[in-house]
Structure 1
């Protein structure tokens, strides 16, 4: 079994070196049944065998190379193997022959090992634990733990490689919103500023690469993933509201421009990723020699170099990487209008190059993340066109359903059913964000339908949680829960967030009680995880203290709605009611209907509401963290 993904550099290397080599392929086909899996299409399969590799004491990564018994149980594996022995690793043919020899000569012990390993994986990924009491301390403790890992000079977490790590950043942000931990707010702002100045950010075309190979955010692994940029938009939206720093608004605009220009496919949904390589060289599409910039810009190149630096750091073999110092970044925000035409010229020149490959498949859960981010950012910075793009993408994904079930992925006419639990959760969250942005009640109804599908196909037998894989999926040896974060919050974390938001929006007490039970059991399982529990902890924090804001306002001349829009809060659900409405008025906690004869805002925490707020400045004070 080889598990990889389209934008994975070493996956391509191993495929070219070994799988496409006639001699190696002959050995593979003689000794094994060979299966290739795209981890993005089947994250459930990937997580099972990655957990097995971890239990073997091996470092995880992709390509994931695993050897299985005929019934799919793992017994030995690794990651990248070169065709010939090098890097201190055995050659792949050597590995194939050694594994085959062990299978033929020690089959009984290999089967025992596979049985034991499978049992351990099942315990880790599909097991149950006693529920935990939900309390405020869990978020505080996790935030303090993350605090101890923060790089106070360079932002993000200490060391290299450096990943954006959005679930951790959300933990710190929630810690600030709830407990006033300004150091946690500042850690997120610093991390974003440093990241957005570094080479990990595409200063010419917008968008973030997956990670930097160094501690300075300078040398990226140049692939661009849809999910990283969805989460970047969301974090920058919060950061802009809290700091009033135009840097974050500008980077949102640039990243959305990139998404709409390079990642949108026919129908309006978004492709999964862009490769790091073009013409066989990593980063070639994105990097520039000084002479190339001077040729493209002529006499204006000196102005460009006032705002940007080119670096070819030690060990980097490609052309220099564009980045900014802190001072250059701050000045470029002030002088944006001078810089824009220069960047447009370079972008036009770059478009003439051989482009990196695009993985054009549409992943339902990743699209859900982008849809929510576009809807939220569109509200905050008054970009109706972004909200409309979010609606188009939502319609493209939702309309691909078959028998009322979402697909997990699509590529052209090909659709992969059934969806995973993460797909229903992400689309429910997207629907709720679109409801907040548009006031269209059908989005709230669709969110409820997605949660109902989740219940039908993914709920466990004890009503304590959900499995990642649907009940009628027959091609996995284990149904896992999806409790562990990867680059995005875990499926379980996204499910709890969606259920909290939907129950807060609807006022459905039965759904609130059910959500609480799911969250308690998820917290119990998360307590036994060594890593990757931030998604569950963050979602449980939302469950403990959900906020609801009902706004009655004049659609023609709104005074209160703009205040709510420019003060986004991940803990809060907003419902907007036009003055004079008589039907479909949302209830406040306790079933009380707000009067709709004049503008007013009702801010509620749990089952308790503040007195009505009619003054926009007072609402601003209430919604803004000092």
Structure 2
């Protein structure tokens, strides 16, 4: 066992018995490199990364390769999900140098952590124009030994170039109607009208863009925005990207038609998409959206919830195919013969329903289950029976591995999704699951100074500090939970986190710029302080924080929080019209700002009052972008919005305000619905 044996990350533990003498990212590792006068090999990946596993098997488990590494390098292994700051800094360098990036990420550093040579996956032998990993190692060693001045010059130039990439003054002005209209036009140009989604293969689920489209439709009535959201959601849900038996989404589709997924299932994708489909149902009443939202929520609770009440990060793409080989997608794909074995006389019906063919839609005559035809033409009872039997048969297969570390940010996304889905569809068990995860975040990830820890595992907090996305996404989850449960403690916790954002993640030298950093001012110093306002697979920390700041300000009337949100959205004014696909959540937050957001106070004579319950549900189902909801008795002091809001004629009442103007209170759910949409 090497030094990784003492780590909590499942990814690092996968490498704990490698013959490579791995170090975790630490000052001690770089001091060892400095003392031994060796370059550092930095290898970054994550537990459900297919090519990370491949390179590990081919190179890091190979005794000869490991021996060469141990003799000539100090090798450092990083889980990108535990240290997104390290990943972001060096991925920016890789992309700048090579024009592309990905994982595994392979970077060679000086003992001062300055990068000088980059790559991703390297094969064990030269292949398709790529050098072998051994050739790369030998080349780097030769450069380090014979051309040290050149290496130092290259490393210094890269660090200087990265430093110049810091985002400048954005003016702090949020986008207006014009910029949002330009963003919608840009999305329309990139939209795939035949298949749904945006751009070509590979296709990733555009969760945050769909949230923007739904909010834009709610605010402006744009039928074009709604149609792009509806069609994309339907194509994703009917394709192989969605698990037609067990619910939940794979990470992305390798083709334009959503047929063949990359089979890993990530918590963040499923949390975001669960919320998207719940919001789509709220806007349209779509039965498909309702089913997918609930099935995805049930998948998260069934397969990702940990014993401590949090949610695990991911399920692997690969699993044992039954013959001892670890194969991508083995758990999920079917042949006609396998259907026959499980279903007997219903096999042909299931093959037609799920699009399973003799040729297959995947590899080796296997098919990914889809819904290529309208379900109404099939016998619903027989289909449901077939699905139950197939799911039971699949459960007998070797299951994919699970990365069971709890990431704060992704659990915040799950809390928001499960709380809202549970409230919309009268599923108190889902709300309870959201409360359980939120309790874990408070109990284990939040210290006495309101500082977050990034990860935990098996009830043990990790060593890494939370980054901006942790604070923004957890605060977002807490705000959603406050609106759903009527428990003001979640609003209080959100405020504590957002005060940390204002104190430690803003540009303190130029606060008017609205700039935010991904790491705190007192975090470990890297070669560059990472700063990225663009969405990737999750909302950027920048836009997540802006959204939570805006929601908290609507709840409390806090001017500093609202001002910070408006200033942070200045970058969306710049990027939205140019690259709208990559600032979807920022655009969604801007929609909320333009709509107010609306502040809804529901007061009732008691917790179980039927009138208050009906008004509360109506408020939650309103489509007004980013609306916040507070519920309680007039005497409650848990929510500032309830202050000075009396009952009306002794009955429960709803108060709706925005932009310092309030409507007359109403006791009628229909009038409230008209005021909020839905």
Name the TM tier (shorter chain): over 0.9
Instruction: Tell me if the contact between 1:136 and 1:541 (Cα under 8 Å) persists in the aligned partners.
Output: no
Question: What pairs up with 1:19-418 in 2 under 5 angstroms?
Answer: 19-124=60-165, 126-134=166-174, 135-279=176-320, 280-311=326-357, 316-317=363-364, 319-328=366-375, 338-400=382-444, 401-404=446-449, 405-412=451-458, 413-418=460-465
Gaps of 5+ in 1: none
Instruction: Tell me if the contact between 1:496 and 1:540 (Cα under 8 Å) persists in the aligned partners.
Output: no
Deviating more after overlay: 167-176 vs 247-256: 167-176
Deviation at 1:287, TM superposition (A): 0.9
Q: How many residues align?
A: 618
Deviation at 1:315, TM superposition (A): 6.8
Question: What pairs up with 1:481-492 in 2 under 5 angstroms?
Answer: 481-492=531-542
Deviation at 1:489, TM superposition (A): 0.9
User: Against the structure 1 CA distance between its residues 152 and 524, is the aligned structure 2 distance closer, same or farther, given a 3 Å change threshold?
Assistant: closer
User: Against the structure 1 CA distance between its residues 211 and 576, is the aligned structure 2 distance closer, same or farther, given a 3 Å change threshold?
Assistant: same
1:437 correspondence with 2:479: no
Equivalent position of 1:551 in the other structure: 602
Equivalent position of 1:561 in the other structure: 616
Distance 2:311 2:615 in 1: 33
Distance 2:92 2:576 in 1: 16
Deviations 1:442-475 (A, max 9, x none): 1111111111233344333233443222333325
Pick aligned residue for 2:671 from 604, 612, 618: 618
Q: Please, what TM-score do these two structures have when normalized by structure 1?
A: 0.93
Question: What pairs up with 1:567-606 in 2 under 5 angstroms?
Answer: 567-578=622-633, 581-584=634-637, 586=639, 593=645, 595=647, 597-606=650-659
User: Against the structure 1 CA distance between its residues 28 and 372, is the aligned structure 2 distance closer, same or farther, given a 3 Å change threshold?
Assistant: same
Instruction: Tell me if the contact between 1:484 and 1:531 (Cα under 8 Å) persists in the aligned partners.
Output: no
Distance 1:338 1:315 in 2: 26
Deviations 1:427-456 (A, max 9, x none): 111111111111011111111111123334
Instruction: Tell me if the contact between 1:587 and 1:594 (Cα under 8 Å) persists in the aligned partners.
Output: no
User: Against the structure 1 CA distance between its residues 209 and 353, is the aligned structure 2 distance closer, same or farther, given a 3 Å change threshold?
Assistant: same
Deviation at 1:338, TM superposition (A): 4.8
User: What is the root-mean-square deviation in Å for CA atoms of aligned residues?
Assistant: 2.4
SS in 2 for 1:613: coil
Deviating more after overlay: 173-182 vs 44-53: 173-182
SS in 1 for 2:281: helix
User: Against the structure 1 CA distance between its residues 13 and 70, is the aligned structure 2 distance closer, same or farther, given a 3 Å change threshold?
Assistant: same
SS in 2 for 1:321: coil
Q: Please, what TM-score do these two structures have when normalized by structure 2?
A: 0.86
Distance 1:450 1:388 in 2: 22
Deviation at 1:551, TM superposition (A): 2.3
Distance 1:402 1:130 in 2: 33
Distance 2:211 2:530 in 1: 25
Instruction: Tell me if the contact between 1:138 and 1:537 (Cα under 8 Å) persists in the aligned partners.
Output: no
Instruction: Tell me if the contact between 2:598 and 2:656 (Cα under 8 Å) persists in the aligned partners.
Output: yes
Instruction: Tell me if the contact between 2:488 and 2:639 (Cα under 8 Å) persists in the aligned partners.
Output: no
Instruction: Tell me if the contact between 2:335 and 2:360 (Cα under 8 Å) persists in the aligned partners.
Output: no
Distance 1:298 1:314 in 2: 22
Distance 1:315 1:506 in 2: 52
Deviating more after overlay: 382-391 vs 522-531: 522-531
Instruction: Tell me if the contact between 2:413 and 2:473 (Cα under 8 Å) persists in the aligned partners.
Output: yes
Deviations 1:517-573 (A, max 9, x none): 343367568899897333333323333431222223463313322322333544211
Deviation at 1:66, TM superposition (A): 1.1
Instruction: Tell me if the contact between 1:10 and 1:80 (Cα under 8 Å) persists in the aligned partners.
Output: yes
